[in-house]
Structure 1
Amino acid sequence: MLLRFIAENILSFKDAVEFNTFPSSRSHSHDWHKVQCDYVTALRMTAIYGANGAGKSNLLKCIALLRKMVASEKIGDLSIRDDLYFKLDTGGKDSPSELAIEFFANGYVFYYHLAFQNLRIQDEELYLSGKKSDTIIFSRKGEALEIRPEFIEAAGNVNFFAGFTETAKRMIRPDMLAISFFGNYYPNEIPLVREAFNWFRNMQVVVPSMSTGLLPHTLDVDKEFASLVNQILPELKTGITKLDVKREILSEDDIKGDSQWIKAAAFLKNNPGTIRTLRSDNGDVSNLVLENGDFILKKMQPIHTDSNGKEVELDFIEESDGTRRIIEYMPLLYSVLKHDKVFVVDEIERSIHPIMIKNIISKISASLEAKGQLIFTTHESCLLDQTIFRPDEIWFAQKDVCQSTRLYPLSDYNIHKTANIENGYLNGRYGGIPFLSNLADLKW
């Protein structure tokens, strides 16, 4: 569970700005949304609103950036800019960008802080958070590295501890994260770092341009997932009565002449048990797998029903953008309900009708068995509904006079449990909406 996240001097964040998922003492509804994380409590849903350019997507970009940096062996390999600092302040260029996150993983509460400048790490530290005090696991400032011996396996051997520490100091370069180095190369030597490292890798970040490439294969092999999809899709009135998977056995002759398929087939032969995603020129997605010596091509097959009650097969590409987007969200919906992971989604309503996205989010909100945490940005005001969210699960992003993003929850306001928060938001009561000039004054 993500507990809180802090960004400073990066993108549209000038001073340190905190986002958190802690419940407010003012909010008392939806108790099943609260999750006990050792000594703290967190909420498993958050919707973030804000005008275009207010910085709500920048919050998710920072979370995604930190995940990407931790998951990489060295940040120099990543396609990220070295000028991410807040540019609307003269001191931004000469100061490091800082990211910090507190999270709950496998029974532990961790706090991780990172300061970097020009793609070089300046400070890095990982703490084990406690109710009364925090305990440092490792700390790095420039070239200095401190590792607490009690967290290292076999640290009782003085020679091992000294040698391990010196090796780490020598091998961790300025463009490498210590958490990544230990997580990748010494996961058994520092188990707590391994837990924190794996939490970052398991976090799922979804941006509007992403699509679910393994969906055909997942539908084919996961019957529980397929059952959920075919229960929900008809309820959403997309016209699809069933989503099947068409399986086609391909021979070597079928693959000849297509370079994409030839490369995919060669990869599957050399990497048994893997899956290759193929994309056609029109954007259609299929999966190629090697099963029992045969190449199997799997494609999603939407089924509609005509006026005579007869089933009609359509190609997936023939469905509308919104329908395809809904189908691509099905793994997310399933995972939030079934898996204890963090899911961060930008513009969750993209290309989806308001009623449909409200239906999907309502299902997640109402579930008493949901295990995952869902954090997303949106412009869709119909989700501002107290039957779906608690006031402390709704956040707003807004620029201040310095054009720096600030974040605040709806629970900062005195909200009655019967209040229509959608109308209040659209009327500007809570901020987070565009401020436009009078169009009459502009001669419109």
Structure 2
Amino acid sequence: MLSLLARKADKTLPGALIGSERGLPAKDKVLPATAIYGANASGKTNFILGLAYMQRAVADSQAKWKSGAGTRIDKNTSSEKEYGFFEVLIYLDGVKYRYGFRASSFFFEEEWLYSYPLGREQMLFVRKSQRDDEVVETTLETGPKVSGEKRDHESSLRRTRENSLFLSSAAQDNQPECIAIQRWFSTKLITSIKLNVSSLDETFTSALAYNCPNFKDLLVPLLRAADPCIKDIVVQREGDQSGEDSDQFSRENVQKHKVKFVISGSNGDVEMPFEKQSRGIKRLYTISAGLITALKFGRIYVVDELETSMHPHVASQLLALFQNRSSNPKGAQLIFTTHETRLLNLHHLRRDQVWFCERSNSGESTLFSLLEFSPRKDENFEVGYLGGRYGAVPVAGIDPSWLRAINDDNLTITSETLDG
């Protein structure tokens, strides 16, 4: 399980640690960032998809999912397990909560919420469901410390479908602890990846730049870190040449914007469309909305392959924004996957901020910390990782049959086929 709790024994980058600004107990500190390394197809992206799935299930399962439509979770085709297990431990107003659920493709088999107000575990609720033929029977056990009356909890349970979460139903009925957990998922957690979509798009950044005039004051300097020639950006809604459309921002209309970059050059300023920008600039523009809103409001930004198409210095500057209290006064957190090994040193990441993801021959992925290898402070983590000391690197080479095939004159691909 990935943990962002700081290890007390690690004294590096002390200014990066988050404590009282997030309402944590005095003895506890959390990390502002954590990096996940691993080979391609090791399961790093699936970890982020898992968080995105939890977010959607908590937000939408009761309000939007239809009865009998399933839990929108796919069976793991590379594993014998036919369910997904999801759990988070979070701090809210100084109290630790543990919430999770187990989901099959058809219904939620189990769901639980515990709190630790004085360090001791106390159950708030445990919901269990069992399928008999086509009928799902659900039971609920509540603890003595959960807010509200038993009859209200039973009423929420009756409204909870087999493919919806009790937490979501109870939150709709104003149950305080459930409201708090649901609000964390909906307002504190920003996931940069869409379910069933393999890549990001720039629409969230464009919508904020269009509807929030001051947002560009934060966006443009961030872009200039990658390209100092960027002077400004112009965002227009398609069909609106005046740029004065004042319609309220909504996620339904965020794809109706055109973006132009104002570039300063020797012959004056020129406007270049978003499509003509480099991949690195497009990538930075795309993730900027998540980065800025997380830092501005103390949220948690989860991003897949932070450094994609960007120079390592730019990636390190983005990471540094979260590691510095002057740029991160609200205690925002960054969780990111990466292949950028040049971040693997104590100038950028503490030892307890580095995690690895590795997939076994059975198809299951495991997360484990760099601390499991008891690395020394003076150890070169980048060399150790690339040398295979910590695992989580590709082990298979090019099959010898490929070398034979590339030199085979009878290969069906011929120069005549390529030329015409």
**SS of alignment partner, residue 151 of structure 1:** coil
- CA separation of 1:306 and 1:250: change in aligned 2, threshold 3 A: closer
Distance between the aligned counterparts of 1:337 and 1:165, measured in 2?
37
Write the deviation string for residues 351-403 of structure 1: whole angstroms up to 9, x where unpaired: 32333323322333334441211101111222223211111111001123544
Residue equivalent to 1:147: 142
Residue equivalent to 1:398: 358
Residue equivalent to 2:158: 170
Residue equivalent to 1:411: 371
Residue equivalent to 1:98: 85
- CA separation of 1:124 and 1:301: change in aligned 2, threshold 3 A: same
Residue equivalent to 1:198: 183
Distance between the aligned counterparts of 1:66 and 1:246, measured in 2?
34
- TM-score scaled to structure 1, two decimals? 0.76
Whether 2:107 is the aligned partner of 1:88: answer no
**Which amino acid counterpart does residue 352 of structure 2 have in structure 1?**
D
Structure 1 residue 121, shift from structure 2 partner: 1.7
Structure 1 residue 333, shift from structure 2 partner: 2.2
Write the deviation string for residues 111-167 of structure 1: whole angstroms up to 9, x where unpaired: 0121222321222111112443112222212221133465334x4xxxxx43x2332
Distance between the aligned counterparts of 1:382 and 1:79, measured in 2?
43
Whether 2:232 is the aligned partner of 1:242: answer yes
Could you list the runs of 5+ residues in structure 2 that have no partner in the other structure? Answer: 130-137, 405-420
Residue equivalent to 1:282: none
Residue equivalent to 1:47: 35
Asked if structure 1 preserves the Cα contact closer than 8 Å seen for 2:200 and 2:286, the reply is: no
Distance between the aligned counterparts of 2:57 and 2:237, measured in 1?
38
Distance between the aligned counterparts of 1:250 and 1:237, measured in 2?
28
Residue equivalent to 1:24: 7
Distance between the aligned counterparts of 1:217 and 1:81, measured in 2?
28
C-alpha root-mean-square deviation of aligned residues, in Å?
3.0
Among 285, 289, 297, the residue aligned to 1:327: 285
**Which amino acid counterpart does residue 66 of structure 1 have in structure 2?**
M
Whether 2:46 is the aligned partner of 1:58: answer yes
Whether 2:118 is the aligned partner of 1:127: answer no
Residue equivalent to 1:180: 168
**SS of alignment partner, residue 416 of structure 1:** coil
Whether 2:291 is the aligned partner of 1:304: answer no
Residue equivalent to 1:293: none
Distance between the aligned counterparts of 2:71 and 2:39, measured in 1?
25
Among 370, 383, 394, the residue aligned to 1:423: 383
Q: How many equivalent residue pairs? A: 378
Distance between the aligned counterparts of 2:58 and 2:396, measured in 1?
40
**SS of alignment partner, residue 20 of structure 1:** coil
Whether 2:258 is the aligned partner of 1:273: answer no
Could you list the runs of 5+ residues in structure 1 that have no partner in the other structure? Answer: 1-17, 156-160, 255-264, 280-284, 287-298
- TM-score scaled to structure 2, two decimals? 0.80
Asked if structure 1 preserves the Cα contact closer than 8 Å seen for 2:115 and 2:123, the reply is: yes
Distance between the aligned counterparts of 2:277 and 2:73, measured in 1?
41
Q: What fraction of aligned residue pairs are identical, expressed as a percent?
A: 24
Distance between the aligned counterparts of 2:204 and 2:291, measured in 1?
15
Write the deviation string for residues 405-444 of structure 1: whole angstroms up to 9, x where unpaired: 2211112223333333222211212211100237669647
Distance between the aligned counterparts of 2:153 and 2:71, measured in 1?
30
Residue equivalent to 2:412: none
